[in-house]
Each structure stands twice: as C-alpha cells, then as structure tokens.
Homo-oligomer: A and B are copies of this chain.
Amino acid sequence: MPTIHEPAAITAEMKEAKKDYLDRHTPHVVAPAKVKKGEAFGVTVRMGQDYVHPDLPEHFIQSLQLFRGDKLLGSTTYAPGAATVGRETPSGFQQVTFTIALDAPATLSAISYCTMHGLWTSDPVKVEVE
C-alpha cells in the first residue's frame, strides 16, 4: 500500500535534520480539549506549524481529511493555486475548518496528500465531552 508518513514513526534526529520538509508536510488537528455533548464546534486541519507548504501547479496539497477514530468526518480537495493566487509562497497556512459534534470522548486525526510527497497523518488529538 502507499506509504503513510506518521509523526510517531519519525525520530527526533530526523525531525531536526529535515525540520522544514517534515513540518510543512504534517497535518495538525486543532480542536478544543473539552466540548459540550452534542454541541457543534469547529475543528481545523492545518498543514505545518512553522513552515508553509508551497502551492505550485507541480507541488501542492491536494486533500485534507478529518477522522474521528476510524470514521471519516469530512474530506476537502484542492486544485493547485486555488487558494493562493499562484504564489510560490502562500500568504498563510493551508487549512480547513470543519464543524462537528460529539456524543462521547473522541480521538481526532487527519490525513493529507501532497502531490509530490504522498500521504501524511497527524498526531492524534483527544477531545473530552462534558
């Protein structure tokens, strides 16, 4: 099957040595630590923490997907340059915010696809429910 790059499988040395490459290819899930049962809230999937991924015709992030455990909640697809008017360095991090609700505590994660460097997954993020 296609390689899926996973943060937990990358050593600290590697993370330091290939910092910008790894950072900009890793999706991050940004969600509240605790939410109210059944109430809608926003979850952002964002590429990179410190480095911005290019958005070039021959090298762009084609999709961002949000999962609750093994369940796909939403999947966003892009064409190259679509969101960044074709600059080599986009003016912001590529991100999408989904609106979801939870009935029980959940682990959220994301998968991204880069047209040059393939599939990448986020670290899991736990959300408590009160």
**A contact set with B: CB distance below 8 Å:** 1-4, 6, 38-40, 42, 56-58, 62-63, 67, 69-85, 87, 90-103, 109, 111, 113, 115, 117-119, 121-122, 124
Contacts and interface: CB of A to CB of B under 8 A. Distances in A.
A115 B75 CA distance: 13
Contacts of A77: 74-77
A79 B124 CA distance: 21
Contacts of A93: 40, 99
B100 A97 contact: no
A99 B94 contact: yes
Contact of A83 (B84, B85, B100): B100
Nearest to A1: B121
